[in-house]
Structures are given as C-alpha cells and as structure tokens.
Amino acid sequence: MRHCVFCDILSGEAEGSFVYRDDLCAAFMDIHQPLAGKVLIVPVRHAAALAELPPETAGRMFQVAQRLVAALRRSGLPCDGVNLFLADGRAAGQDVFHVHLHVLPRVAGDGIALRFGPGHARYPSRVELDRLAAQIAGAL
Ligand SMILES: [Zn+2]
C-alpha cells in the first residue's frame, strides 16, 4: 500500500480534528476545509474502494453520517442542509484512496453544485431505462 494520509490521521501521525470514533469508523476534519464543519467519515481499517469494505463497516459509516447530519443541524454552525458525497474511483473524483464519505453542511446560495457537463440533457426512453435497470440488477 502506498502512503495514506487518512491512515496517518487515524494513527495520530498527522493532525485531524476528530468528531467521532468507534471500532469500525471515524469522523474528522482534515486540513482541506472549504466549508466550515465539513467532516470526513472513514473506515478505521484501510480500504481503497467501497467494494473492499465489509458491509458492517459501510453500514456503520452511513449510520454515523445520519448522526452527524443531525448534529450539524443542532450545532449552531451554518447549516440549512447537508450533502453526503462519496467518490469511488479516480474517474469519480476520488483523490485519497482510502474510502471517505464527505458530510457537507450547506447553506442557501453557497454556490456548490454537482453539475452534469454538456450532452447529459438527453432523457432516455423507458425501454432503455428498463434495459439498463436489468443490466445493473443482473450484476447485483
Ligand atoms: Zn488509509
């Protein structure tokens, strides 16, 4: 495994401001803070991709996210809404290859958006959607 900054934060070799930690996952703020209150939830045991996570760990991460969203709303920090974002793979924008779920507090008009590029405005037919659904379902 190549050097992993999130493993360093988990071990205490690098700084992180911890919000939560249990036997399976932890939540902290790293140095990249484009939003006040942005928290990352990571598995304690290194895993590069979502598919590598034991289901119990993936489930716990989402349970912690649910608690953090509620906590952010109660915290007094600016938070009118919350986005959860997980990039799985380089093409999806994953930059640190230790699974991490972003918890992003949002305020009205903050200008943050996940945008589709040109050519994504086409709406497929129901027949095409049914075919795609069957293809995905077949891979489950
Ligand atoms: Zn790691």
**Domains observed in the chain:** 5-111 (3.30.428.10)
Instruction: Report whether 20 contacts 11 (CB < 8 A).
Output: no
Going from the Cα of 126 to the center of ligand 1, the distance in angstroms, rounded, reads: 41
- Considering the candidates 3, 32, 46, 100, report the single residue annotated as catalytic: 100
Examine the pLDDT at 138 and tell me if it is beyond 70: yes
Query: What is the per-residue pLDDT for 1?
Result: 58
The pLDDT value recorded for residue 10 is 97
Which pLDDT score, from 0 to 100, does residue 33 have?
75
Q: What percent of the chain has pLDDT over 70?
A: 99
pLDDT band at 120 (very low <50, low <70, confident <90, very high): confident
**Residue 29 and residue 15 in contact, taking contact as beta carbons nearer than 8 Å:** no
Ligand 1 centroid – CA 139 distance (Å): 28
Q: pLDDT: is 85 or 124 the higher one?
A: 85
Whether 120 is a known active-site residue: answer no
pLDDT digits over 51-82, tens only?
999 999 999 999 999 999 999 999 999 999 99
- Selection from 11, 98, 106 nearest residue 50 by Cα: 98
* DSSP assignments along 20-44, one per residue: EE-SSEEEEE-S--SSTT-EEEEES
Ligand 1 centroid vs 27 CA: distance in angstroms?
Answer: 13
Mean per-residue pLDDT of the chain? 93
| 98, pLDDT greater than 70 | yes
Question: In this structure, what are the phi and psi dihedrals at residue 21, rounded to the nearest 5 degrees?
Answer: -160, 135
Q: Which of 55, 30, 31 is nearest to 43 (CA)?
A: 55
101-112: average pLDDT = 93
